[in-house]
Structures are given as structure tokens and as C-alpha cells.
Amino acid sequence: MTAATATSPSPAWSWVRANAGLLVRPAIIVSLAVALYVYVNGFLDSDDAIFQDKRTLEWERNLKPQLEQHISLTLWSTLLVIVIAIPLGLFLTRPKYRRFGGPVLGIATSGQATPAFGLLILAFAWLGSGAWTAIWALGFFTVLPVLRNTMVGLDQVDFSVIEAGRGMGLTKGQVLRQVEIPLAVPVILAGIRTALIINVGMAALAFLIGGGGLGVTISAGLKLSREVVLLTGAVMTAIVALTVDWIASIAERTLRPRGL
Amino acid sequence: MTSTASSPIDPAPNQHSATGVEKPATMISLQGVTKTYDGSVIPAVDSLNLDIPEGEILVLVGPSGCGKSTTLRLINRMIEPTSGRIIFDGEDVTSVNPDLLRRRIGYVIQQIGLFPHQTIAQNIATVPRLLGWDKAKINARVTELLDVMGLPNDFKDRYPKELSGGQAQRVGVARALGSDPAVLLMDEPFGAIDPITRDRLQNEFLRLQSELKKTIVFVTHDIDEAIKMGDRIAILGEQSRIAQFDTPERILAYPIDDFVADFIGSGSTLKGLNFERVRDIDISTSFPVVSHDTSATEAKTVLDASPERSLLVLDAKSHPARWLNDKDLAATPADLLAAGVEVTSTLPMHATLHDALEELLMSNAGQATVVDNSGVYQGIVDIEVLADVLKGMRAAARRHYEVHVDSAGQS
């Protein structure tokens, strides 16, 4: 015991070593952002830049609000999914309601099987244009990974652990809260992370129904045939996606119960 | 008339149970308990009457599928009985809140089922936490239980995945003892553990039980484990029908029918030798023994007068020293301690007859020499003594059953 403490490095250093993978990602993201900034600034100062380039790539007027919209589309739609899919998953894994699991999963699967573009248009036809229409459409699209992972996560809990808990006098609710859910957390978190990533990508299409987001810049780049605009939109979307995934991976590590 | 109406199900004395005199008070009583699963016509457990004696280990043993686990799970109502009554410490618990009932009964299963996301301390504290004990009391109890189970105190903050199988089952037992329940239900607790560790855990558990005196219901399919662990054994057949309910000694000495005889298998006589100790039997005193200062001719007279082929010489401290036979004495040795064969091993008084058998088979004289704690000669165990004891055990068991069957026939 004493020998182990003597040879083991400080906790801070061992944390860094264990999480080295997590530190590589921000480095990539920052260098990507810096490279984009340098390239775009250089281009806009050169003679090749036209008026439309400068107009579309104005930070305060266009890029910043689009970035904020993009992030809020992602977060709200994911939150919506969490609020719907996790309770639904809990409900559908209770013995009494298990028989509804199949049909509900079927509906969720059809949500993801529908082309994203089609789903946005359907939502537009039903709810009209705007950010919230996009959020509902994204939410419906990503119910499946969270719902399925919640159900799988709860089902994979070792039955003997539940049996032991019940045998000691934990009520069904206590077993669910104190045993089943904590043990399902890693799988549920993986589902939420998947939903987040899908939502970041899908939010780039929200502009189609007036939802805003970085898709606006990408589409402008396409319409104007301006490579610098197109590239800026695309790379910024990628940066958002990488950042969101990085944060999600940290959350996965921190929220995972110890001992698993 | 009124008395029969008030108790529709007689607490029928078990047909093969021990007599009332030696049987302790009943802690749990299953009365006419039947379990029929949905969609099944044949009950898994059919009107079972079972009195579980207080402060003892009752082992339910039987072939797989006989319903022994179901029976165990009926006691804490993990399985709800279809009909019948369960009396727990004088209280009818057939319809009380099962969660509250289970907090009063320790439960150990083969797969252990420790909560992997909780530390060992949190696992052991499960029931005390449910019962609302304060932190200091819980902490003291966890420390105490780790100590009782022979686990180091720094296990508290470890997680179950860091434990070996044997350690995990010790924690499982500690968790079941968390709130110091009077009753412990154990479903093949040592079944998934390697034989060496299992043996150690069994011994530790028996030592623990000799202090704790819990009422324990222990399920196993292994008759040897049943004989080792049980103060009493219930051998169960199909649908949890009790084939024989008795002490291991009597079951081994007198299997009631072919089913039981088949189940306990061959070698039951030898197994029975484990239950008798040398100090409890009459050690043959007619064996020829002489002291070391006896003359060779005198010793020869003693040997000739006895039916034995050799005699034992004791040294100055009355410790067994040499075996001498006819030929050794014919040479009329001046010092008896220099002649014959040395006594190389002896048997203590607390040894079992099984040890005695092994000893006498190993010794070249064909006898086991018994000594007390200070090594002073006490007597001899030979094959005739063992045969007499076994005969006596069988006769006693048979007499017990005949008396019981007779009195049952009259009533």
C-alpha cells in the first residue's frame, strides 16, 4: 500500500495521462479555427474578394448569430429528445408495458428512416416555418438512438443484481432509481451523444424551413458559387460538431458511475 | 369443532421430524403452502408443511427442479404463494407488505448480486439505510461486519469488480447480515465458488454461525454440503414433497426410503462417522497395556491372557511408547522401551470417528491410540469399536423412527 502511493505520480498528472485522448481534440479544434480565420482574413484582404464575400462573412451581422442559432437548435432538439425518450424508455421496460416496446420502437425507427430533408418539409407543412419547427423535426428524427439505448441499457442490467435488491427489501421504485438507472447510465449517455451528433449535422438543414443556423452560409456559398463562403460555413459546422462531441465525451466520462 | 374451525390447516407435525424434546422453537412455519405458476396445472410446490427451527441451519436439499429454490423464495415472498400460510416468528406474514418483510430477512444468492456501482461499504449498508439508521451507526456496523467476515477495513471504499469470488461472497453474506436479521435465507451461496475457497467459506460460516445462532435456511443440491452445513436436513422430492426431515446423522444412519438412499448415495456410513467424536464413545479398555518398568515375562503373561496379538507399552509419563508382539517378548528384552515398534501417531479425544478410521488404517498395529491433551494414554479405537458404534447409530435411528411411526399410527 505504502509502496504503491510512493511510486504513483500525483493525482493531477495521472488524470492527465488517463485522459490524454480528451486533450488532443481541443487542440485540433483550435488549430482548425485558427487556420480558418487566417485563411478567410487573408482572402478578404486580397483582390480576389468580392463584395458578397465580405457581406456574407461579416461576423457580427451573419456568422455569430448563425453560430448561436446552430448551437441552440442542437441543444434544444437534444433536450427535447431526452425529455421524451428517456421516460418513454423507462416506461417501456417495465414488465407491465413491455409489450408496447416493439411498436413504439417501430415508430421511432420510421422517424430515423425518413430522409431528414423530407422530415423537415413534412414538419414545415404541418407546423409552418421557424426554429421550433426545425427543433421538433430534429427531435423526432433522433428519438430512436436515445430510446433504444435507454431500453437496452435497462435491459442489460444483470438480473441477479435486481433480484438481490428486491430480496433485501428495496421497492420496485428504489431498485429502478438506485440500481437500474445508475447501471444503465453509460448506455443511455452513449445514445444521447449519438443524438447530439446527428442533431448538429441536421441543424445545417434547418435553414430550408427558416430555422437559421450555419446552413444559411453554406447555401449562400452554393448559390453565389463562392468557395470561401462555402468553406467557412462547412468548416464552422464541423468545428461545432467536434466541440459538441468533445463535451459529450467528457460528460460520458464524468457521469458514468464509478465501479463499472 | 370450534378449534378445528379456527385453524383450518393443522400445523401437522412433520412425519419424520425429530421428537419434540430435542427440537427447538419454530421460527418460520410454512403451512399448506402451494405455488402454482400461471398457465401450469401441476403445482411447483404442493401443500408444503415445514417448520423451520430457531437458531439452526436447515438445509433444503434435493435434485434440481424439485422446487427447493422456489420454497426458499416463498419464505420471503419473492414468489407469492398461491395458497397456504407463512408464519414468521409467530406472526402471519402471508399478506403483509413484502418489502418490509424482506428487510427483516437476510438474503444471499449464488450470483451474489452486489451493486457494481456502489462501494463495499455502501453495499453492506443497503438494509440499514432502508431502515433509516443514522450515519454513525451504519458506519460502525459496516466496520464490524467487515471484521466479522475477515475482510480488511480498507475494502470499504473498493468496488465489487475489484474483489475475488470468495471475497465477493463474504461481502454478500455481510450485506445480508447488515441489519442483524434473525433469519438468513441462502440460495446455493457457495455454489459458484471453486472447491478450495468453498470449503474455507463453509468452515468460516459454520464458525460464525456458532456465535450468531441465526435461523438459516440453506438451499443446495450437494448432499455433502448439506451434511456439512446442516443442523437439520430436509430432503425434497418432486413438488417440494419432504422425503425426510432430520438431523444429518440420522438421515445417514437411516434413509427412510429408496429415494433418500439413492440421493445420499453410497458411502453414507462413512460420512456418518464424521458426526461421532472419540470422546463420546466407549474406548475399549480391555486392551493389554503395560507400563515401561514391567518385566518382559510379566508382559508376556498379560499378552497371553488377552485375545490381542500385541500390547502397548507406556512410558514414564503414561504416553503410549511401543507396540510389542509375541516375538518381541519371546526375546525377553531388558528394556521394553527398546523393543518392538515405536508408536508414531496418536489420536486426540476431540477427533471424529472418521479421523479414527483413517488413523487405524494407517497404523501398522491396526489400532488408533487415543490420548488426552497432555498426551496421556486414554484407550484404543479399533475396527470392532467402529463397527459397534455404527451398528448402534443405525439401531438408534431405526428405533427413533419405529417409535415415531408407532405413536403416529395410534393417533
Q: List, for residues B336-394, the tens digit of each pLDDT value.
A: 888 888 888 888 988 888 889 988 888 877 888 999 989 999 988 988 888 888 888 88
pLDDT at B148 exceeding the cut of 50: yes
Chain A residues touching residue B113 (CB < 8 angstroms): 158, 160-165, 167
Q: What pLDDT was estimated at residue A243? A: 95
Q: What is the DSSP string of B341-401?
A: EE----EETT-BHHHHHHHHHHSTTS-EEEE-TT--EEEEE-HHHHHHHHHHHHHHHHHHH
Chain B residues touching residue A167 (CB < 8 angstroms): 76, 78, 102, 107, 109, 113, 185
Q: What pLDDT was estimated at residue A113? A: 82
Euclidean distance between CA atoms B80 and B33, whole angstroms: 10
pLDDT digits (tens, 9 = 90+) for B210-252: 999 999 999 999 999 999 999 999 999 998 999 999 999 999 9
Q: What pLDDT was estimated at residue A7? A: 55
Q: What pLDDT was estimated at residue A91? A: 95
Sheet of B310-314, strands arranged across: B289-291, B310-314, B320-325, B341-342
Work out the widest C-alpha separation in chain A, in whole angstroms.
78
pLDDT at A67 exceeding the cut of 50: yes
State percent of chain B over pLDDT 90: 55
Of B109, B130, B175, the CB nearest to A163: B109
**Residue at B310: amino acid letter:** S
Q: What pLDDT was estimated at residue B394? A: 87
ipTM exceeds 0.85: no
**A133/chain B closest Cα distance in angstroms:** 40
Q: What pLDDT was estimated at residue B407? A: 54
Question: How many CB atoms are located within 10 Å of the residue B410 CB?
Answer: 6
Query: Region B153-157: what's the mean pLDDT?
Result: 94
Instruction: Bin B363: left if φ > 0, else alpha if -120 < ψ < 50, else beta.
Output: beta
CB pair distance less than 8 Å for A259 and B113? no
CB pair distance less than 8 Å for A168 and B175? yes
Beta strands B310-314 and B347-348: pairing type? unpaired
Q: What is the dihedral of CA B314, B317, B320, B322, to 10 degrees?
A: -50
Mean pLDDT (chain B, rounded):
88
Complete domains list, chain A, with CATH:
10-255 (1.10.3720.10)
Q: What pLDDT was estimated at residue B360? A: 87
Q: Where are the beta strands (DSSP E) in B214-331?
A: 215-220, 232-236, 242-246, 289-291, 310-314, 320-325
Euclidean distance between CA atoms A71 and A140, whole angstroms: 18
pLDDT digits (tens, 9 = 90+) for A2-23: 444 445 567 778 777 777 777 8
pLDDT digits (tens, 9 = 90+) for A218-238: 999 999 999 999 999 999 999
State percent of chain B over pLDDT 70: 92
pLDDT at B297 exceeding the cut of 70: yes
**Contact of B55 with B66, CB cutoff 8 Å:** no
Q: Which helix (H) or strand (E) holds A127?
A: helix A116-127
- Better pLDDT: B18 or B286: B286
Beta strands B320-325 and B341-342: pairing type? antiparallel
H-assigned helices in B82-191: 98-102, 120-124, 126-130, 135-148, 165-176
Of A162, A168, A259, the CB nearest to B160: A259
Chain B residues touching residue A179 (CB < 8 angstroms): 115
Q: What is the pTM of this model?
A: 0.80
β-bridge mates for residue B216, sequence order = B57, B184
